[in-house]
Amino acid sequence: MRMRPTLSWTPGEDLPPGTTDLRPVAEALRAGGVLVLSGAGISTESGIPDYRGEGGSLSRHTPMTYQEFVADAQARRRYWARSHLGWRTFGRARPNAGHRAVAAYGRHGLLSGVITQNVDGLHQAAGSQDVVELHGSLERVVCLSCGALSPRRDLARRLEEANAGFAPVAAGINPDGDADLTDEQVGDFQVVPCARCGGVLKPDVVFFGEAVPPRRVEHCRELVREATSLLVLGSSLTVMSGLRFVRQAAEAGKQVLIVNRDPTRGDRYAAARVALPLGAALTTVAEVLGISGP
């Protein structure tokens, strides 16, 4: 039986309320040295749903865990069928106003860095530089045997050749690029091995149940230490991979600001949570700072 990962969090009654006042965000950016930490919520306006917001994918979809992927060939077949179909849609997503605003902040020297929990590459597509992909990227594939990295587009071509005519209609797409398909729709989908050694291929992303590489975590901790303040965008901070950086910033006396419509697990550490849609909020801040435009 496939078990649901422990991914939920219930807000407590003692959390501070959200605000619609964007002045603290504008003031922090004007001072410079802001480190951005983004989550799935910044990509929803690009057509990629989040995990936990209203209508989030966890209400209908259990993400693949690392343990299941490694141990079960049928689970890998299901994953790659769903991911292959989702890749076609996922790859067509384009940066939205929120991504473009973050890129504009960076171009004007207001940011010390960007850490994203997303695997969609939309920050880079919008023009942000030196983005740390905390959970990896769907643009790459890694072999679990020889460690070789290869472009996802090469795997997509090989899967197309091995599964000619595979075009079921998915019920939806998820933040990890996984399309909603039934087992009947997956059918006898053919998984291809590593072209170098014949080993098992995995997207170069951190699955649920898998640890973020320690060197990447330490790099992010160093970015927090160097930053003046931390700006969280579109993350519920339910899992520790992102929450630990909020805690680190708060413990170091750095200002934490959050822009997220729903309460987050990091609200108690924040000076304020702005409960507004991200695209419009970040665009408004850019205009206030006089840096509007692509």
Active site residues: 135
Q: Does the annotation flag 41 for ligand binding?
A: yes
β-sheet with 201-205: strand ranges across = 149-151, 136-143, 201-205
* Cα-based distances in Å from 110 to 28, 229, 264, 288: 9, 11, 25, 14
Q: How far is CA 292 from the centre of its chain?
A: 25
Q: 37 - beta bridge partners?
A: 115, 232
Token readout for 66 is 């690392």
Contact 260, 234 (CB under 8 A): yes
Contact 242, 221 (CB under 8 A): no
Q: Does the annotation flag 118 for ligand binding?
A: yes
Q: Does the annotation flag 86 for ligand binding?
A: no
Q: Does the annotation flag 45 for ligand binding?
A: yes
Q: Does the annotation flag 47 for ligand binding?
A: yes
Contact 282, 98 (CB under 8 A): yes
Q: Does the annotation flag 278 for ligand binding?
A: yes
Q: Does the annotation flag 194 for ligand binding?
A: yes
Q: How far apart (Å, rounded) are the C-alpha atoms in residues 150 and 195? A: 10
3-state class (DSSP) for residue 145: coil
Q: Does the annotation flag 53 for ligand binding?
A: yes
Q: Does the annotation flag 42 for ligand binding?
A: yes
In our burial notation (b when 16+ CB lie closer than 10 A, e otherwise), range 169-192 reads: ebeebbbbbbbbbeeebbeebebe
Q: Does the annotation flag 177 for ligand binding?
A: no
Q: Does the annotation flag 145 for ligand binding?
A: no
Q: How far apart (Å, rounded) are the C-alpha atoms in residues 253 and 237? A: 19
List, in order, residues 6 or more apart from 13 with CB less than 8 Å away: none
> Any idea what DSSP says for residue 154?
H
Q: Does the annotation flag 59 for ligand binding?
A: yes
Q: Does the annotation flag 48 for ligand binding?
A: yes
Q: Does the annotation flag 229 for ligand binding?
A: no
Q: Does the annotation flag 117 for ligand binding?
A: yes
% helix / strand / coil in the chain, to the nearest 5? Answer: 40, 15, 45
Q: Does the annotation flag 44 for ligand binding?
A: yes
Q: 257 - beta bridge partners?
A: 231, 272
Residues marked as binding for NAD(+)? 39-59, 117-120, 234-236, 278
Residues marked as binding for Zn(2+)? 143, 146, 194, 197
Residues marked as binding? 39-59, 117-120, 143, 146, 194, 197, 234-236, 278
